[in-house]
Structure 1
């Protein structure tokens, strides 16, 4: 993972040297990395759409041959072949993206090692320059950044960036639910994740750097726009 962290850290440092603003550099960096990953993301979303389209037929096979697992598997594979669908096509892009995403997070989590290595003065200058309401992107964004005189319990809560990121994560995950015919258990699991993951993002906002949360927030905005465009294309094709 260090190879990916070094590459993306170098890229972020390069952007910062051009714009001289760490927050703006993270935004540009996020957009560039999302564009790099776009072909894999497109393939993953396309696979999800294809699976949603054939899910009702799979359900019919499962209901008709309930208890006959061998027959279900045989007919399901035939259905995949008929629709030219590879069940691994949805997993492969995720597996390929994982080391890249971990590398990205590592670079943002440890900018002193991967972005500003050997230049501590530039690190301090970059991370401690205020960005919007956040005074230091190397530290967590807490409510205290906008309500410094509030009670102690209040100013220690996650700030506006984690709140925004959690809300966008919830919305983005809800737009990904494209398989209404999925089985009850799978549907329930999706709904649970749709609630739990944004709460986790909010909780992490108390400890993760504001720069990392900024990356996640801009990434979610990009994905929401991307899914909107793809959904319009699918409707147009239909």
Structure 2
């Protein structure tokens, strides 16, 4: 039963991380009916302060349309309503234009335009906004009033920038900003401002802060594994009587000071850190986010950060092959280590193994399936997140070695006393 629970823990953690990131990454545009115009410019009706503003553009024509990048100037034209009048606002991006590309939209398809790099400068104040797309028509248009129309403008719906809610404030003040500032500070004092080394150091700090609850969790999991023969004996003894099985199981856990729920806690404690690391690496390194830095760090130039780790791994980009294989391999080794029993235990429990054959097969399947799931996840996020996961898993492997040795020693002492 407990092995089944440990498998479920891995699955639940993976799903929570994956679904959470998928939810927050999704632009969340609200669909409207096609206006009949050549282009629809659609913006979500409400954003909170510091929430990334994105614009959906739908091409209703029969030809490809290219929206040229004006970087370092913001994409599209932005207006803010001030005292009942629309006023154009502008911003110049300090860096990141080397990654900027023109956007080509095929007939009857959509594209998302992001304000990453300009977001706080343009939408850092509450109020009402709209954006305007200006393009050149593929075929020159003439009217009696104007001999030739060179550009056509398409205006979006109005949208509101609202104050940050309590959850957003708690997330930003409690997790994102501290991790963001810690990472930038470590990067600023490392020679060469190496982001990769900073991620490694920050990961070790985070895992060390979580050392006590994590250590208790691993010991609890290991003890439950050691108690598996006794749990199987209880199930066999009271077969069909769920009440007695539950009662004696609880007594067994109490006797050996095992809390089955404690093994879940550190896994979920790490989730906010993982998600915060993701957002820091994804968008936190552009100068538009300098307002989130504490005091003296505001003078540090974010453009000086070296994101090319060891000259082979670009931490802001997705690595599809090598890093996922490394992370998946480390995850496989950690799971193998966590489910490994001592040789003597296996020999003494030969008969019990036959009874739990189905569970053993399920465990073996998960040892292979879970690393694949983690590898797929790593292949879909910036490499910096994968580096964090790899270092965190390596730390977990070292911790698992120590826990396995401790629990085995404690079990040996208990057997000697009983003799």
Change (3 A) 1:42 1:60: same
Deviates more, 1:108-117 or 1:92-101: 108-117
Moved over 6 A (4+): 179-182
**Does the CA contact (< 8 Å) of 2:235 and 2:245 recur in 1?**
yes
Task: State the Cα distance separating 1:115 from its structure 2 match.
Answer: 11
Q: Which of residues 284, 305, 308 in structure 2 aligns to 1:126?
A: 305
Higher helix share: 1
Deviations 1:176-232 (A, max 9, x none): 114676844543333333222222233234331111111111112111112122223
Q: Structure 2 unaligned runs (5+)?
A: 1-170, 292-297, 347-351, 413-419
The aligned length equals 220
Match of 2:24 in 1: none
Change (3 A) 1:76 1:70: same
Taking CA–CA contacts closer than 8 Å with sequence separation of 6 or more, which of the two structures ends up with the larger relative contact order? Answer: 1
Task: State the Cα distance separating 1:125 from its structure 2 match.
Answer: 3.7
Within the alignment, does 1:9 sit opposite 2:171 as a pair? no
Match of 1:168 in 2: 330
Within the alignment, does 1:18 sit opposite 2:177 as a pair? no
Change (3 A) 1:134 1:50: same
Within the alignment, does 1:136 sit opposite 2:353 as a pair? no
**Does the CA contact (< 8 Å) of 1:137 and 1:210 recur in 2?**
yes
Q: Which of residues 247, 255, 275 in structure 2 aligns to 1:74?
A: 247
Q: C-alpha separation between the residues in 1 aligned to 2:231 and 2:181?
A: 47
Task: State the Cα distance separating 1:78 from its structure 2 match.
Answer: 2.2
After superposition, where does 1:143-158 map in structure 2 within 5 Å? Answer: 158=320
**Larger Rg belongs to:** 2
What do you get for the CA RMSD once the two structures are aligned? 2.8
**TM norm structure 2:** 0.47
Match of 1:148 in 2: none
Deviations 1:15-70 (A, max 9, x none): 01110111111111111111111111101001112212222111111112111111
Match of 1:194 in 2: 367
**TM norm structure 1:** 0.79
- SS of alignment partner, residue 138 of structure 1: coil
Higher strand share: 2
